Amino acid sequence: MDMAWQMMQLLLLALVTAAGSAQPRSARARTDLLNVCMNAKHHKTQPSPEDELYGQCSPWKKNACCTASTSQELHKDTSRLYNFNWDHCGKMEPTCKRHFIQDSCLYECSPNLGPWIRQVNQSWRKERILNVPLCKEDCERWWEDCRTSYTCKSNWHKGWNWTSGINECPAGALCSTF
């Protein structure tokens, strides 16, 4: 696990170095790309150790933008963090859900997303990440693990029916495989 963590840090450093010549799109200075937390709903203001990070969020325990309670919530079928139900079209395959949980852990916990942080004007966050690179092998594995799971939307960022307090498929939307 430590070797994988070191490789991920080296990859991020290489990506940050490569992105250094690009003009930043947010107010952050180029020197402020690593070891920074987003200005978002559940993020800490500064990264720090979190020895009790849960499950798939544990790789960030040495320096995290999330708390232990946030990491525990990310592993629930319907988390209190965003009231998002992974199983909105029936039970999502555990191997598929693992990828979405890992993505959520990266978003909430990583202090190394500076190159992809963009300012937004939303009531619940001032910043988000956009265009974070994904390795081809990870993308292919995610697809393989999720191809038999179901969803009713192609864009999970908007258009849900929230009248019950959790995300539900909009009227007329049909569940189909990813």
| Per-residue pLDDT tens digits for 135-156 | 999 999 999 999 999 999 999 9
Residue 83 neighbours by CB under 8 Å, 6+ apart:
162, 165, 166, 167
pLDDT of residue 29: 55
Residue 118 CA to residue 110 CA, distance in Å, equals 15
Residues above pLDDT 90, as percent of the chain: 67
Please say whether the beta carbons of 98 and 79 come within 8 A: no
Q: What is the mean pLDDT of the chain?
A: 84
pLDDT of residue 31: 56
Q: What is the pTM of this model?
A: 0.79
Q: Alpha carbon of 93 to those of 71, 78, 102, 104, 149: distances in Å?
A: 20, 15, 14, 17, 6
Residue 151 CA to residue 38 CA, distance in Å, equals 28
Please say whether the beta carbons of 50 and 60 come within 8 A: yes
DSSP helix/strand/coil, 121? strand
Average pLDDT over residues 32-48: 89
DSSP helix/strand/coil, 82? coil
Comparing CA positions, the residue from 117, 129, 114 lying closest to residue 34 is 114
Average pLDDT over residues 42-46: 92
Q: Which tokens belong to 134?
A: 């994904």
Q: For 70-109, how does the pLDDT look when each residue is reduced to its tens digit (9 = 90+)?
A: 999 999 988 888 899 999 999 999 999 999 999 999 999 9
